[in-house]
């Protein structure tokens, strides 16, 4: 079956670094996505990885290891506005997104 | 960047009435649109995949006669919740796949439905 696993909740301190892990199993693989979702809003796209390695985009970086079925989202210099849910999604061979349950990130001052 | 709109953004209706939600891709063409439902503190649940000019494909457990989907053009898909009940109250989000890129999906802002 297809499955996406990520932690339910994480807490971090403003200004610090946090890594949100995601493991995936999909029928075929066409990439791994990370989305940010603030309460009451639709998800917004953060990153897309289809090849192994690290993709850096400002304060956010995303890593993929296809052999391990593993990805992480790294957030640096955390700000209070980064408090949100972070959704990991794998794209299967039909280009359909398989969603994780999301990781609620709580930022404390 | 690509923009997807949804209308209405919020709707309150009485039990038993039908509600139509529109999803439009504003600056790109989308042969495929997806309809999601999200209950509080839960992840997105794919309801159906809508392909322009053909019948929608519904996920297991989603009643196709209750959630009518029409994808009449490359920029518009509609979801109609028929005979809505309080348990249908949820956040409905659409996404549209750019015709030029299989992996690119853009999300609409969502529609919050409250059935009284």
Interface residue B97 vs chain A (CB under 8 A): yes
Interface residue A30 vs chain B (CB under 8 A): yes
Interface residue B93 vs chain A (CB under 8 A): yes
Q: How far is A92 from chain B (nearest CA, A)?
A: 10
CA distance A106 to B40: 17
In this predicted model, what pLDDT tens digit does every residue of A47-100 receive, in sequence order?
999 999 999 999 999 999 999 999 999 999 999 999 999 999 999 888 888 899
Q: Give me the pLDDT at residue B31, please.
A: 85
CB count, 10 Å around CB of B1?
6
Contacting residues for B75 by C-beta, under 8 A, at least 6 apart: B24, B25, B26, B29, B30
The answer, yes or no, to whether residue B2 has pLDDT greater than 80, is no
Q: What is the dihedral of CA B99, A34, A91, A101, to 10 degrees?
A: -120
The minimal CB distance from A91 to the residues B46, B103, B106 is found for: B103
Q: Give me the pLDDT at residue B104, please.
A: 77
The answer, yes or no, to whether residue B1 has pLDDT greater than 70, is no
Inter-chain CB pairs, A–B, below 8 Å: 39
Query: Which of B3, B21, B25, B1 is CA-nearest to residue B11?
Result: B21
C-alpha distances (whole Å) from B13 to each of B10, B82, B85, B91 are 10, 11, 9, 14
Q: Give me the pLDDT at residue B53, please.
A: 84
Tell me the average pLDDT of chain A. Answer: 94
- Contact assignment for B91 to A40 by CB distance below 8 Å: yes
In this predicted model, what pLDDT tens digit does every residue of B11-57 receive, in sequence order?
999 999 999 999 999 988 998 999 999 988 788 899 999 988 888 99
Interface residue B112 vs chain A (CB under 8 A): yes
Highest mean pLDDT among A34-43, B6-15, B33-42: B6-15
CB count, 10 Å around CB of B18?
12
Q: How far is A76 from chain B (nearest CA, A)?
A: 24
The minimal CB distance from A99 to the residues B43, B91, B106 is found for: B43
Q: Give me the pLDDT at residue A39, please.
A: 86
Q: Give me the pLDDT at residue B113, please.
A: 96
In this predicted model, what pLDDT tens digit does every residue of B73-116 receive, in sequence order?
999 999 999 999 999 999 999 999 888 877 778 899 999 999 99
- The arithmetic mean of pLDDT across residues A39-53, rounded, is 91
Q: Give me the pLDDT at residue A55, please.
A: 94
Residues of A in contact with B99 (CB under 8 A): none
Residues of A in contact with B93 (CB under 8 A): 42-43
Maximal C-alpha separation, chain B: 41
Q: Which of residues 29-68 of B touch A (CB under 8 A)?
A: 34, 42-46, 49
Q: Give me the pLDDT at residue B43, please.
A: 81
Q: Give me the pLDDT at residue B100, please.
A: 80
Judged by average pLDDT, the poorest of A15-19, A36-40, B92-96 is A36-40
């Amino acid at each position: 079956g297809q499955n996406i696993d990520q932690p339910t909740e994480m807490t971090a301190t403003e200004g610090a670094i946090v890594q949100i892990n995601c493991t995936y199993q999909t029928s075929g693989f066409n990439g791994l996505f990370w989305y940010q979702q603030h309460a009451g809003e639709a998800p917004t796209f953060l990153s897309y990885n289809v090849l192994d390695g690290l993709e850096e985009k400002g304060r956010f970086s995303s890593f993929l290891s296809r052999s391990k079925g593993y990805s992480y989202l790294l957030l640096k210099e955390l700000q209070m506005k980064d408090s949100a849910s972070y959704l990991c999604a794998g794209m299967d061979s039909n280009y359909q997104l398989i969603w994780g349950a999301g990781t609620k990130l709580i930022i404390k001052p | 960047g690509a923009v997807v709109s949804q209308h209405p953004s919020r709707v309150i209706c009485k039990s038993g009435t039908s509600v139509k939600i529109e999803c439009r891709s504003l600056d790109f063409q989308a042969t495929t649109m997806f309809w999601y439902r999200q209950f509080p503190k839960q992840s997105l649940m794919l309801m159906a995949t809508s392909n322009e000019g053909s019948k929608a494909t519904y996920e297991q457990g989603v009643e196709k006669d209750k959630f009518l989907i029409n994808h009449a053009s490359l920029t518009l898909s509609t979801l109609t919740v028929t005979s809505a009940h309080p348990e249908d109250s949820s956040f409905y989000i659409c996404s549209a796949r750019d015709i030029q890129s299989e992996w690119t999906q853009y999300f609409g802002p969502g529609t919050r439905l409250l059935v009284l």
